[in-house]
Structure 1
Amino acid sequence: MMVVRCIIGQHNLGLVCVAALLCISGSAVTASLFRHALRAKNNQWYAWLFLTALSSGVAIWCTHFVAMLGYAGDTPARFDPLLTSISLLIAVFGSTVGFMLATCRFARFLPEMGGVIVGLAIVAMHYTGMLAYRVQGQTTWNMSCLVLSVLAAIVLSVLAVRAGVRPGRRAIACMAGVLALAVLSVHFIGMAAYHVQAGPHALESMGHSEDSLVLAAAIAIMSFLILGGGLVSGMIDDSSRAESVEKLRRMALNDTLTGLPNRLNFHQRLDLELDWARENNGRLALIGIDLNRFKEINDLRGHRAGDEVLRILGRRLRGLLHDHSGEFIARTGGDEFLALCRVVSAEQIKGFLRRLEEVLFKPIRFEESEVLPGASLGVAIWPDHAADKETLINNADLAMYRAKADPGRHPCFYEPSMDEKVRTRRKLSADLRQAVKAGQLTICYQVQRVIATGEIRGYEALVRWQHPTRGTIMPDDFIPLAEESDLILQIGEWVLRSVCAEAVRWHQPYTVAVNLSGMQFVHSNIARIVANVLEETGLPPQRLELELTESTIIADQARALQVLHQIKDMGVSLALDDFGTGYSSLDTLRRFPFDRIKIDRSFFGAAQTSDHTQAVVRAVLALGKAFDIPVMAEGIETSDQLSMLNAAGCDEAQGFLLGRPAALADIVKNGQITMNHAL
């Protein structure tokens, strides 16, 4: 009641309202800046701490002096300039120390300690300001109210800081309200404790003079300007932070190269579209898209060309979308895309697929040449082809792989019976990756003999896969899978290294032949790998022969010629494998430094007539003699085939008749190879 009587009876209520508005506004700005200081790091922390302390000090000081100018005492009064200035410094300095401790997280109770210091700063500022208030009369103090004002300042300031450091949207509002209550409590409880007894010569009170009103207005305006500056700084930072968050969100949900949504964005959109389909009893089409010639573009023209192709496709794909049909396209991998479309009618989905094909098969101009990317499209419909999200994606993927295997059919819709083969193939591909890690691949050797004498010329290394449930899997079944997944690079290098390490321990200096995949030749520095393996294992280069097919070198003949000469310069032999099944170009034999021609086993099958086989063999032998290159026949399984080759003058052969592929331990056991254990 003393406080209420003091406010109503001894103050100008207009200035009291201005002081309260100043206090609440300043506390709100202080709380907002305090939250910025909590989040800031390094030099930004100092800047936000300064703004927080300045706004707090100005709010405390201006609240006090505007309210004091509204105090209508019975005696004339004036303000001591020095003590008034000191009181402002106390408010700013005390706030700085308090909020500095409150925003540091080095110790558990630092926010509470900071709140105590802020409360003491409010108290010290108020009573220093009261000392600056000089009146003509005797002043007395109600000590109970005075002590209460001190306790209120400390307790409320601690609560205000604790509210400010807590997470949540209400933190700023709570801190602002409690801090304003702390400042107002100190002032008006302190004023209730203040009593002046006028002296005998006291003049008429000046509490309501026009000069006091003008001074109060000037102080209020200046304080609002200062607080407004702090508020604008916080708003600018919040706006910049919001823009940064939005930019990061866009970066997180969109592919930076194409501008299309990324995999994360796609899954979010798919969840929404599936919810729409369930609620509206609708159907949803998911289209898997894989570019057909993207790897070729990267290999032949470089990654810059590949990136440009993706950028142009991204612009085209964004341009074909119709929002009203729920159409959506995302880039989910290097050359993989996924599209969504609500299926309203058969014609509508056909139209969307037609627009996709027009974009994907339209030529792209790049450096005065045209690139035709092409694509394989696989379609799965929800709920016709899948009951859940994962199955829908998987079935669209299966249909896309079927379209990729049969380029004449595009797009392909999911068909359970046909896509089961693709599913099995993909399962085997996943098993192969585990097989490489688990050491399930083994190497066996097939003997190569001189036909005229029967003596051993060397061995060809052949890789086998011992599957834990399917048994032995032949290279023709798993090598294509390895090439599709790039595992062939790892497998090929492992085979080369293992074979050379084993062959160097043979007592007999037999040649060992190792097959090179086209993927190895294109995607790795094979010459460097061969040189490193020979150096590490110590195998003489003359004992190593590398076999490769004509299709391996036909894509980039200039590079292939350079690489083959590098290998030849090491002393390693080169064999042209599967001759007669590919291009079989005379220009290949003329340009490339092959040491041996191998006639493919398909010419010696049971379905081939003897006359046809002899004609092919004679033709190849004639080429070999013309180019002075020895010829070896593969797949010899009967004595008639061997006799025919001998009569035709073929140099060497290998096949089941001459020796089946066997593990090295079995060959050593049979005595064909003896091991040099000293190595």
Structure 2
Amino acid sequence: MVTVLGCITEKHNVWLVLVAGLLCAVGSWVTARLFQRTVGTAGMQKLGWHVLTAISAGVAIWCTHFVAMLGFDAGVPVSFDPFLTVLSLLIAVGGSTFGFALAGSRVTRFAPALGGAIVGVAIALMHYTGMMAWRIEGIISWDVPYLVASVACSVVFAAAALVCAMRAGPHAVNLMAVTLSLAILTLHFTGMTALRITPLVVPGAFSDLAALHTLALAIAGLSLVIVCTGLVSYLIDSDVRAESLEHLRRMALSDLLTGLPNRGSFNERLDLEIVLAREAGTRLALIGIDLNRFKEVNDLRGHHAGDEVLRILARRMTGLLRENEFVARIGGDEFAAICRMTGEVTAEAGLEDFLGRLEAALYKPVRLDEYEVVTGGSFGVAIYPDDATSKPVLINNADLAMYRAKTSMTRSVCFYEPAMDEMVRARRNLASDLRGALAATQLSIHYQVQTSLVTGETRGYEALLRWRHPVQGPIPPATFIPLAEENGLILEIGEWVLRQACAMAISWDPPYPVAVNVSAVQFAHANLTQLVAGVLGETGLPAQRLQLELTESTIFADRGRSLRTLRQLKELGVSIALDDFGTGYSSLDTLRSFPFDRIKLDQSFFSEAEASPQDRAIIRAVLALGKSLGIPVLAEGIETQSQLALLTEEGCDEAQGFLFGRPAALAEIVGTGRIRLVDTRVAHSVPGKGDAEGIDNGKSPGAEHGQTLDSTT
């Protein structure tokens, strides 16, 4: 009885069988790879991969069959019908296309098995169509059991191949290639075993076996070229995908503006460095970096200039990096650096050197067109594992140290200290208390007199905000106002102060003007003019009795918008005072651009004016400037008779300070007789002498100087 193995060894050219088997294996593996790519794509790209998969599969199936047939010894002359031969190739490609498309569609859970079965049927149809194209000098018959077995093997193995391909796993491609090869080879050799040939003697008929074998090798070579083309397409796409993924990864981990590593890359690097430090028993320095005056660059020169500054500083920091050093931009004008501290002796020195290089890079002037910008930076340093043993705590401690550096007037680099935690916790608790201070009536307004130095008459009063904490007592101004601004409370509190001051002043006799401080946050708010107009309308206070005080640094943040707002306020009839003149961005151009109603000369010039010729010269110059511009000058913080004598000698218009009167509650001022209340309802609502005291809008409790209410003149 003829067996499959006997058919292979006795009826076939063994070398061509090996070539056919190699071709089938390579083609199946490439087909499996290409099919895998179709599963992860969509749209036209998916269609393209399906076409490549079908071509690779069809060529592998057809060429395996044709090469193996050319290696079969029929014992009689043979030839091929070209039409049916080409038709068999089309069946292989078309059937594979439909089967693979169905298998990868996921329309049902059985789609892979159904698609594979269609591929198996296509293999069988291709084989027997090719057998029909075989012209031999003899009578063909079939062993039905082998014929049925060949078709069954093709369908079962092809279905199994597609099921394996659709299951996720590291060996899915190889399993598909093996089972698809089995589907092709078992079909062919089992089908050839089913073939029975009864020779017929036909005179002159012969077949050239050498030519057939040469044709088989040519077909095998051509098929390998086609299959390899599919493989190359796969490899090229894989390289492109890998490059694209690497490019996307670099983009995801890099800051697009500066090219520095971004926050994601920083987190990855910090995780790695902590692991390395832990394993090696070494230390690691995390440095938080915040640019000091970057907002000014954006406000004055525009965001394009700010972007250019960031790019230049990033290039500088990248250029100074050495081994075991790392810098990333983590957002806005914030950066983070990592320094691996190795060696007992050199670790501290290496960190100091790194910090010195970073400082030099940030403090070196940046040239922008015709301007030079010096941003500078604040550096907060936390050491692993000395200051923290986990990443979140290490980052938090570096931030605390950086915040301390940013608020320090003398240090640009601060190392973390445990006491910083307590300070931050206390500050957060105080901010929480501040949120409820207004509702709990802990806030009140005190008033400080403003006096004419020429006549000695009262010119008005400045409204100063006070806060007496129920536990801590009076809160210093350096703590209170920054908290309100940082936590978004200044708008609500500022509106309350404005409304209360106007509501109280309407009942004063004489009808003195009242001055109210406006913070930078309030002034930057879009509806300040509408708020002032609304408060004046509600309280009935004449606009000419309200004076708003603001610092020049407030105006300088956005000069064009600020001047427009000031003009709108002036149109209401409100007067404007330039507060703390001489301490900020004082410029003659600001005074020229807007007609202020008053200049308030900062108290810092009077503390040493008697012994400092420079301070006396500045005072004299400001007073002369005010007279030349027709703007009254009010001196703040006047405490002594000698200071008063100096101002009188230099021709100052007005003064304010402890020498003329401390800030006091309205009831206390009424009690002295300086003010009478014409509305008894207001008189009964005036806070008493014992009401809460605290701070004014950015000034000391004395309105001009000092940090406590106990300051004396």
TM tier, smaller: 0.7 to 0.9
1:372 counterpart (351, 360, 374): 374
Asked if 1:288 corresponds to 2:255, the answer is no
5 Å matches for 1:532-611? 547-553=548-554, 555=556, 558-559=559-560, 562-568=563-569, 571=572, 573-576=574-577, 582=583, 592-594=594-596, 609=639, 611=641
Give 1:622 shift: 5.8
Whole-angstrom CA distance in 1 between matches of 2:446 and 2:423:
36
Give 1:171 shift: 2.1
Give 1:416 shift: 2.4
1:623 counterpart (649, 653, 670): 653
Q: Residue by residue, what CA displacement relative to the aligned partner does 1:144-177 show, whole Å, maximum 9, x if unpaired?
A: 1111111111111111112222223322222112
1:31 touches 1:175 (CA, 8 Å); kept in 2? yes
Report what 1:402 is aligned to. 404
Report what 1:330 is aligned to. 328
Whole-angstrom CA distance in 1 between matches of 2:368 and 2:432:
40
Stretch of structure 1 that moved more, 304-313 or 268-277? 268-277
Q: Against the structure 1 CA distance between its residues 11 and 559, is the aligned structure 2 distance closer, same or farther, given a 3 Å change threshold?
A: same
Q: Against the structure 1 CA distance between its residues 152 and 109, is the aligned structure 2 distance closer, same or farther, given a 3 Å change threshold?
A: same
Q: Against the structure 1 CA distance between its residues 10 and 529, is the aligned structure 2 distance closer, same or farther, given a 3 Å change threshold?
A: farther
Give 1:598 shift: 8.1
Report what 2:355 is aligned to. 353
Report what 1:392 is aligned to. 394
1:636 touches 1:642 (CA, 8 Å); kept in 2? no
Q: Against the structure 1 CA distance between its residues 534 and 575, is the aligned structure 2 distance closer, same or farther, given a 3 Å change threshold?
A: closer
Asked if 1:635 corresponds to 2:663, the answer is yes
Give 1:51 shift: 1.0
2:35 touches 2:100 (CA, 8 Å); kept in 1? yes
Report what 1:237 is aligned to. 237
Give 1:504 shift: 12
Whole-angstrom CA distance in 2 between matches of 1:585 and 1:301:
18
Stretch of structure 1 that moved more, 389-398 or 305-314? 389-398
2:63 touches 2:219 (CA, 8 Å); kept in 1? yes
1:76 touches 1:202 (CA, 8 Å); kept in 2? no
Q: Against the structure 1 CA distance between its residues 578 and 621, is the aligned structure 2 distance closer, same or farther, given a 3 Å change threshold?
A: farther
Give 1:91 shift: 0.8
2:576 touches 2:598 (CA, 8 Å); kept in 1? yes
Which residue identity is paired with 1:295? K
1:547 touches 1:574 (CA, 8 Å); kept in 2? yes
Report what 1:184 is aligned to. 185
Whole-angstrom CA distance in 1 between matches of 2:66 and 2:597:
103
Whole-angstrom CA distance in 2 between matches of 1:536 and 1:216:
100
Which residue identity is paired with 2:256? T
Whole-angstrom CA distance in 2 between matches of 1:151 and 1:109:
18
SS class of match (1:332) = strand
Whole-angstrom CA distance in 2 between matches of 1:199 and 1:156:
37
Whole-angstrom CA distance in 2 between matches of 1:337 and 1:18:
63
Task: Provide the TM-score with structure 2 as the length reference.
Answer: 0.76
Give 1:550 shift: 2.2
Which residue identity is paired with 1:246? E
Report what 1:104 is aligned to. 105
Whole-angstrom CA distance in 2 between matches of 1:639 and 1:600:
28
1:500 touches 1:534 (CA, 8 Å); kept in 2? no
Report what 1:677 is aligned to. none
Q: Against the structure 1 CA distance between its residues 364 and 617, is the aligned structure 2 distance closer, same or farther, given a 3 Å change threshold?
A: closer
Q: Residue by residue, what CA displacement relative to the aligned partner does 1:287-314 show, whole Å, maximum 9, x if unpaired?
A: 2221111122122111111111111121
Give 1:63 shift: 0.9
Asked if 1:34 corresponds to 2:32, the answer is no
1:116 touches 1:157 (CA, 8 Å); kept in 2? yes
Stretch of structure 1 that moved more, 616-625 or 139-148? 616-625
Give 1:125 shift: 0.8
Q: Against the structure 1 CA distance between its residues 298 and 228, is the aligned structure 2 distance closer, same or farther, given a 3 Å change threshold?
A: same
Report what 1:95 is aligned to. 96
Q: Residue by residue, what CA displacement relative to the aligned partner does 1:230-283 show, whole Å, maximum 9, x if unpaired?
A: 111111111111011101111222222222222222222222222222222212
Task: Provide the TM-score with structure 1 as the length reference.
Answer: 0.79
Whole-angstrom CA distance in 1 between matches of 2:161 and 2:51:
19
Whole-angstrom CA distance in 1 between matches of 2:212 and 2:65:
14
Which residue identity is paired with 2:330? T
Report what 2:26 is aligned to. 25
Give 1:476 shift: 5.3
Count of aligned residue pairs for this structure pair: 631
Q: Against the structure 1 CA distance between its residues 81 and 405, is the aligned structure 2 distance closer, same or farther, given a 3 Å change threshold?
A: same
Q: Residue by residue, what CA displacement relative to the aligned partner does 1:443-476 show, whole Å, maximum 9, x if unpaired?
A: 9664879999xx9x99969697999x98997875
Stretch of structure 1 that moved more, 439-448 or 271-280? 439-448
Q: Against the structure 1 CA distance between its residues 331 and 609, is the aligned structure 2 distance closer, same or farther, given a 3 Å change threshold?
A: closer
Whole-angstrom CA distance in 1 between matches of 2:256 and 2:314:
10
Q: Residue by residue, what CA displacement relative to the aligned partner does 1:11-36 show, whole Å, maximum 9, x if unpaired?
A: 11111111111111111121111122
Which residue identity is paired with 2:108? A
Q: Against the structure 1 CA distance between its residues 501 and 92, is the aligned structure 2 distance closer, same or farther, given a 3 Å change threshold?
A: farther
1:448 touches 1:459 (CA, 8 Å); kept in 2? yes
Give 1:578 shift: 5.4
Q: Against the structure 1 CA distance between its residues 573 and 659, is the aligned structure 2 distance closer, same or farther, given a 3 Å change threshold?
A: farther
Q: Against the structure 1 CA distance between its residues 351 and 565, is the aligned structure 2 distance closer, same or farther, given a 3 Å change threshold?
A: closer
Give 1:400 shift: 1.9
Whole-angstrom CA distance in 2 between matches of 1:36 and 1:92:
18
2:124 touches 2:154 (CA, 8 Å); kept in 1? yes
Q: Against the structure 1 CA distance between its residues 610 and 271, is the aligned structure 2 distance closer, same or farther, given a 3 Å change threshold?
A: closer
Whole-angstrom CA distance in 1 between matches of 2:201 and 2:575:
124
SS class of match (1:74) = coil
Whole-angstrom CA distance in 1 between matches of 2:38 and 2:414:
58
- Point out where structure 2 has 5 or more consecutive residues left out of the alignment: 452-457, 607-636, 676-685, 694-713
Q: Residue by residue, what CA displacement relative to the aligned partner does 1:459-508 show, whole Å, maximum 9, x if unpaired?
A: 969697999x989978753431354x4x54xx4555577789999999x8
Give 1:61 shift: 0.9
SS class of match (1:330) = strand
Report what 1:675 is aligned to. none
Whole-angstrom CA distance in 1 between matches of 2:398 and 2:466:
34
2:449 touches 2:461 (CA, 8 Å); kept in 1? no
1:636 touches 1:657 (CA, 8 Å); kept in 2? no
2:443 touches 2:692 (CA, 8 Å); kept in 1? yes
Whole-angstrom CA distance in 2 between matches of 1:220 and 1:533:
92
1:22 touches 1:220 (CA, 8 Å); kept in 2? yes
Give 1:286 shift: 1.8
Report what 1:118 is aligned to. 119
Q: Against the structure 1 CA distance between its residues 209 and 634, is the aligned structure 2 distance closer, same or farther, given a 3 Å change threshold?
A: farther
